[in-house]
A and B are shown apart, each in its own frame.
Chain A
Amino acid sequence: MLGTFLVLLYAGASLAQNMCEMGDGYKVRLSIKTALGDQAYAWNENEMFLFRATLAFAMRKHFNDSQYNILVCNETQRVSFHFVVADPRNPHALMEKVQVEKAVRASRHRINSAFLLSDSTLEFLGIPPTLATPFRPATPPWLIAFGVVIGAVCAGIIVMLTSSLVQRRR
């Protein structure tokens, strides 16, 4: 009984590994030491669990439905790995790459924050970041400074011209 269970477990794990390696997924690369320096955390199984949970959250949030299984493989020392998302309705098929991309882009900021990283240090190779629009004030700031200075200078000219006119009349 136990033996059958273990064999099934082993088969399931290798099947998952196979699906990940064969499947068309995204490569993720993390640069934790570069981003955090002394405050960097070590990458271990717990962090990987968080990654899979965060990505499952992103998929669930975007598609508004049930649980997603994230399969990870090809981990390296660099801290980079491949992942694919299993389709919850059909456990032997994978979600399409385009769908995964949409979900990741929608929740990119949340995913980054979970790891205290940014778009450049938590890279999804092939998914371009959506950068925040910079704040544009209603009046360009240079115009305000310009207005102040030109007002002061014109006032100075008027003062000097009137004073010399007055002097000449006297």
Chain B
Amino acid sequence: MPLKEWLHFDDKCEEGSVPAFLKQQLNMADFEERRSLLGDENEDRGPGRPLPAICDPSHVLHRVVVLIFMCFLGFGSYFCYDNPAALQTQVIQDMNLNTAEFMQLYAWYSWPNVVLCFLGGFLIDRVFGIRLGTIIFSLFVCVGQVIFAAGAWSNHFWLMEAGRFVFGIGGESLAVAQNTYAVNWFKGKELNLVFGLQLSMARLGSTVNMNIMGWVYSKVAVAVGSSGHTTLGISLMIAAGTCVFSLICALVLGFLDKRAERILHKEQGRTGEVIKLTDVKDFSLSLWLIFIICVFYYVAIFPFIGQGQVFFIEKFNFSPAQARAVNSIVYIISAPASPILGFIVDKTGRNIGWVFAAVIATLCAHMMLAFTFWNPWIAMSLLGVSYSLLACALWPMVAFVVPEHQLGTAYGFMQSIQNLGLAVIAIAVGVIVDIRGYLVLEVFFCACICIALMAVVGLYFVDYLKGEGLNRSAAERAKLQKETAEHAE
């Protein structure tokens, strides 16, 4: 699932690597706590008796409880996002689809997010507030998945597509809400750990989905007596159970947050995002090249995983269970790899070099899958590592080329065109498979990666000639920061 990865990329708490608007939030949260601590001395704190540690919102134990709920908040939506991929053969057979129609399920998820990426922060900050917003987005996720399952049950494909559309409205915005909660509760050193944990939970959800849904389907088929759209509907309803669980977590979180606000006298969390669409005209050439890399890279990953199961079954003669397992390896690897690679990229700098390495590695992985019969575990593992590496190296670059007040717009725009690319390419992928087969599909993915590669090469030279310093090493950057700080004094 296309995470709002710029909120997860740094697991190492480096002042310089935390994006600016998050710093804004941190400062705001710090200020509020300082005010409330001062206020505590003079105000009455309710009943007057000390609360047990687990119920005390300022105590670490309570925050751990909140952390658990926060992590499971997103679990349902990540679990259900890749349901079509995990049940590809069953969906295609039971609903009588071709690959193009199947990929529509992914396209419909991405369409609402083309617009919502700009509105998410605004809705949370100005319209709903973090608590109500989280509950509403969770509700969308839950209702969307239920509509999706109902569509399968009643054998109406258009209803399934509508369900994915509703699911999409909630899914991406829920990630924004989850991160806002994290910043609000875990300011300071723990924040990166929390981001890392949330990322791992997200990947865990995707992995569990890939490996379990097939088994769930077969058990339901045995219970119902035959496979068919009813079995599919029931399996998807069971998957919707995770969304109900996430909804419960959202309600509990809302309650705990309101309670903490009452006890600690702090304000509701805000995303701090400021979106101004007119800022787009100020984007530099480097930023546009970064956008191109982002779009053309991710369209070679997510749509590929979306229909990967049948590819592995047909080409490599894998069993369905094996095919699902190898399909999920990208997520399994990225859970531990992201924090490690994030640490490495933070320490060494040279972001463009890392992006270049990641793109080349992905190109090699796709060429291996296209032109050889080598064990696909190799190629998919390489894909997992390079995908994590790119996330750690690409998203921070935006913060280096965009002034702070435009950062929200830049990230929102990047997410928006990424979703647009995913929606369009998901459909193209299905059509290509139906008409020309898997080799042409892999060549198409290689072509997309090559376009990203051209953009990386272009970015390197543009950056070199303009001296913007995207490719500086971490030591150089630290030195520069010290110098500018000294100059400011």
A is bound by B: no
Which chain A residues have a beta carbon within 8 Å of chain B's beta carbons? none
Which chain B residues have a beta carbon within 8 Å of chain A's beta carbons? none
